[in-house]
Amino acid sequence: MANAKKIALITGANKGLGFEMARQLSQAGVTVVLTARDPKKGEAAAEQLQAEGLDVQFLKLDVTDPADHAAAAAFVAEKFGRLDILINNAGISAGELGTGKASTTSQDVLHQIFETNFFAPVALTQALLPLLQKSEAGRIVNMSSILGSQALHADPNSPIYNFKSLAYDASKTALNSFTIHLSQELKDTSIKVNSAHPGWVKTDMGTDAAPMEIPEGGETGVALALLAEDGPAGGFFHLGQPLPW
């Protein structure tokens, strides 16, 4: 590579897991494009990491805006000429976690959550794929959730059996399906695509009731972003262990 440092783009990275993964990747020597839909918050996040001596820069990116997808692709192409790592981290729950019953979830909530959690990462990945194909070892990490596991939701003995939220869970299941399909399509290339379950983490979405701290929550996504050539592809992982689809 002309530029030996890997280039990563992370969505929804002004706080929480996205911010932590930006920090950990930067500490590992990666140049990180930290994106967020709110320029003020995104700039502040990037400046905080820059103050730690890390190679991070901010790019405004609303994942639901196709114009921002095109602008992001143009920015990365002009500045770096390629993309090595894409972490599709931005996601929402619309406050329905644990309450989104299949019989009462509204169409508005379904559309809102799917727009951010599924349609947006698919569209953004498609926009950035030509740049990932220019990498010697492209990595795509879709930040999913154990709540997207159909196998575990159907198992009365699983830890998530009694915790169901239709829109959020189904959006992560769909994202996992995208992982499987894209990985198969790219199986003869150097690009690896995987889904990550970060764990139940103390974020705005996870709340303070979560048992995991944010640094540990960032580890799964970072590990998949830095996979070696012999690493897995087309899988669903948490802290190095496979999860059932």
Residues annotated as catalytic are: 168
Cα–Cα distance for residue pair 187/140, rounded to 1 Å: 13
Q: Is the dihedral of CA 26, 61, 121, 96 positive or negative?
A: positive
CA 132, CA 184: separation in Å to the nearest integer? 16
Q: Which helix (H) or strand (E) segment is 215 a member of?
A: helix 214-225
The Cβ of residue 142 has, within 10 Å, a number of other Cβ atoms equal to: 29
Q: Mention every residue, 6+ apart, whose C-beta is less than 8 A from residue 106.
A: none
